[in-house]
Structure 1
Amino acid sequence: MIGRLRGVLIEKQAPEIVIDINGVGYEVQVPMTTIYSLPALGQVVSLYTQFIVREDAQQLYGFADVASRRLFRDLIKVNGVGPKLALTIMSGIASDDFVQCVQDGNTAALVRLPGVGKKTAERLVIEMRDRLQDWDLPASSTTAALGGLAKSNIAEAEAALVSLGYKPQEASKAIGAVKADNASSEDLIRAALKNMSK
């Protein structure tokens, strides 16, 4: 239907952006991994998209590359995973790291993603392992996947602070002051807010 959009980025408020194409503003939901790759407002942006029609809504989802869109399409085929949870999962971990976790059966890392419980993590591994076996992974390891997860927790915590009204530089500095290995995004946010209130 709508497979790709190219236009001027005019709004960026995670998880939604607006792209102006010949005077028409397209609202697009994007994962945080895509948000961080976007140019500044007023610049031209190109995204691969997935158009989903539901009874109560028509929604565009955007991705920085074809591989991310493919992962999104595979995720929403999993029983109990809708577009919102798929976007949340993709916001919490890089695509290659997620695929590595699935291929390794690493449910422990998946459970640390927002919105993913033990049963969902097991379902993701079981239902997606075959679909993702031809995924071209760079030379990496589960350790790299866990490192990617830690980075994405930091990114998620920073985005949450920005949505609370802090400037991006303030959010980055606040999280940087409290970040710890393997800390969840919730722990980072809590520690940063506590630190800033001193």
Structure 2
Amino acid sequence: MIARISGTLVYKSVQAITLDAHGIGYRVFVPLTTFYELPEMGQPITLHIHTHVKEDAINLFGFHTLEERNMFQVMISVSGIGPRLAMNILSGINVEDLVDAITGGNLRRLLNIPGVGRKMAERLVLELKDKVLKLDRGQTAPRDRVIPRSPEEAVKEDALSALINLGYKNATARDVIEKIMKETNDIPALDLLLKSALQHLSG
């Protein structure tokens, strides 16, 4: 089972990258949090890997930190959460905020993650609270100090993640979000910001 790969980044997209290691090209699925940390193509890279084996395929999921990979592995232990949904969750919220939301029972924050409904949010809190507390006590890689996001930064980042997951380019989605935020006096709710952004993008 592959646990880590070091090599050269030869291709990258929002959903997956190709990493060349000793002449073998590995296709690795990555969350947005890892995508943002990727170097330029042609540069060396190391990813922590979860190898997911199915009857008809072997898929590799890569992460910038051990903590992120461990959270992914904890999430897919929950009934109803497969690798794709777990990746989507990690793309919509960083590990620190996810731990805080689960341990604090913050359903509203979890519901802001694209693809997470009320039942899934409740299941995450119910089944993962004790497990993520163990992760938070340092049984993963040490975490850097994280500066809390402002409400404006949070809604902008969540909207950007959602639009990228829908297939829009990072720069295009970011420009639309910035334009809407400048035209709005108050910080909009995530669903209203997404609705307005989609109207701009479809126009």
Pairwise CA distance, 1:79:
1.1
What is aligned with 1:46? 46
Q: Displacement of 1:74 after TM fit?
A: 0.3
1:190 aligned to 2:198? yes
- Cα pair 2:29 2:62 within 8 Å, conserved: yes
Distance 1:24 1:80 in 2: 33
Per the alignment, residue 73 of structure 2 pairs with: 73
Residue identity in the other structure for 2:190: A
For the Cα contact (< 8 Å) 2:62–2:69, is it kept in 1? yes
Q: Cα 1:50–1:21, aligned 2, differ >3 Å: closer, same or farther?
A: same
Cross-structure match for 1:102: 102
**CA separation of 1:188 and 1:6: change in aligned 2, threshold 3 A:** farther
Instruction: Evaluate the alpha carbon distance shift between residue 46 and residue 73 of structure 1 in structure 2; reply closer, same or farther with a 3 A threshold.
Output: same
Shift of 1:101: 0.1
Letter of the aligned partner of 1:176 in structure 2? E
Q: What is the distance in 1 between the residues matched to 2:196 and 2:33? A: 18
Displacement of 1:125 in angstroms is 0.2
Contact 1:52 1:58 in 2 (8 A): yes
Shift in CA distance, 86/106, structure 1 to aligned 2, threshold 3 Å: same
Rate the CA distance shift 1:89–1:160 in 2: closer, same or farther, 3 A.
closer
Aligned residue number for residue 180 of structure 2: 178
Please, which moves more after superposition, 171-180 or 70-79?
Answer: 171-180
What is the 5 A alignment of 1:110-189? Answer: 110-134=110-134, 135-136=136-137, 144=149, 149-157=154-162, 159=164, 163-164=167-168, 168-179=170-181, 180-184=187-191, 186-187=194-195, 189=197
The amino acid across from 2:180 in the alignment is V
Q: In 2 relative to 1, CA 88–146 (structure 1 residues): closer, same or farther, beyond 3 Å? A: farther
C-alpha displacement of 1:52: 0.5
- TM-score, with structure 1 as normaliser: 0.84
Q: 2:19 — aligned with what?
A: 19
Instruction: Give 3-state SS (helix, strand or coil) of 1:25's partner.
Output: strand
- Structure 2 gap segments, 5+ residues each: 138-142, 182-186
Amino acid of the residue matched to residue 92 of structure 2?
G
In the alignment, the residues of structure 2 paired with residue 169 and residue 111 of structure 1 have an alpha-carbon distance, to the nearest angstrom, of 25
Per-residue deviation, residues 91-114 of structure 1 (Å, max 9, x unmatched): 000010000000100011111211
Question: Once superposed, what is the RMSD of the aligned Cα atoms?
Answer: 2.6
Identity across matched positions, percent = 34
1:177 and 1:192 in contact (8 A); partners too: no
The count of residues paired between Structure 1 and Structure 2 equals: 191
1:33 aligns with 2:33: yes
Runs of 5+ unmatched residues, structure 1 = none
The amino acid that maps onto 1:159 is I
